[in-house]
Structure 1
């Protein structure tokens, strides 16, 4: 029974015959423009360059244009289960946290600074809010923050 089915050859349908006929007619034809080098583009007059970016007073400097960032931290700072205090005066709250050159520094109200290795830049970025101002000098920033 299966041998009989295999021996039967199917004749191509009408659509298959039409496709084969069309294929043989188009076999030696080349589409227009095929193999022809592309035309030279027309010369275009130079247009005036318009600066569509924000005006300078509204631009925010990128991280590589800043010497550092700082934020106030008024509550006690607890790291690894212990409260951080100033190594010189013992203050444990009202910090300025400074981020500069992938280092974090703590500055107490008295002006003592100490590097904090348990905090990294990612921690700083998660806990800091948006910058409300940029300053030319460190002292200008301290004055802005009331220090």
Structure 2
């Protein structure tokens, strides 16, 4: 009986210790806040992200004509900053946004005349990932790749 009670107390103590360690880790782990893109023409890029991706602009503290902040989700922002910079046009380096219905979004792109393609660049038919998610890709005015998918 004493051994069983001792084992139970020991297991409860280990479990509580693991829970406390997990809580301490979660307090230390960073939480994603924003992404920033360097762009050549702030006005052109702001128009693209507001019109094509339908992102809302939020106030930014700079008010210098070189920064636009956009909301990309609850508590999340995309900061676009006008500077002279090297831009990656590698498709493996991309932003990704999910939409409720991919066909509705591609219709929106068609109406705006915005080019898009599948992953392989072989046409407009969405790529079907192994997990069942459909995806397309488009580029912003600076050539950054953006994936749009229907992940839930």
TM-score, length of structure 1 as denominator length: 0.19
- Structure whose residues are more often helix by fraction: 2
Structure index of larger Rg? 1
User: Quick one: higher RCO (CA 8 Å, sep 6+), 1 or 2?
Assistant: 2
- Structure whose residues are more often strand by fraction: 2
TM-score, length of structure 2 as denominator length: 0.18
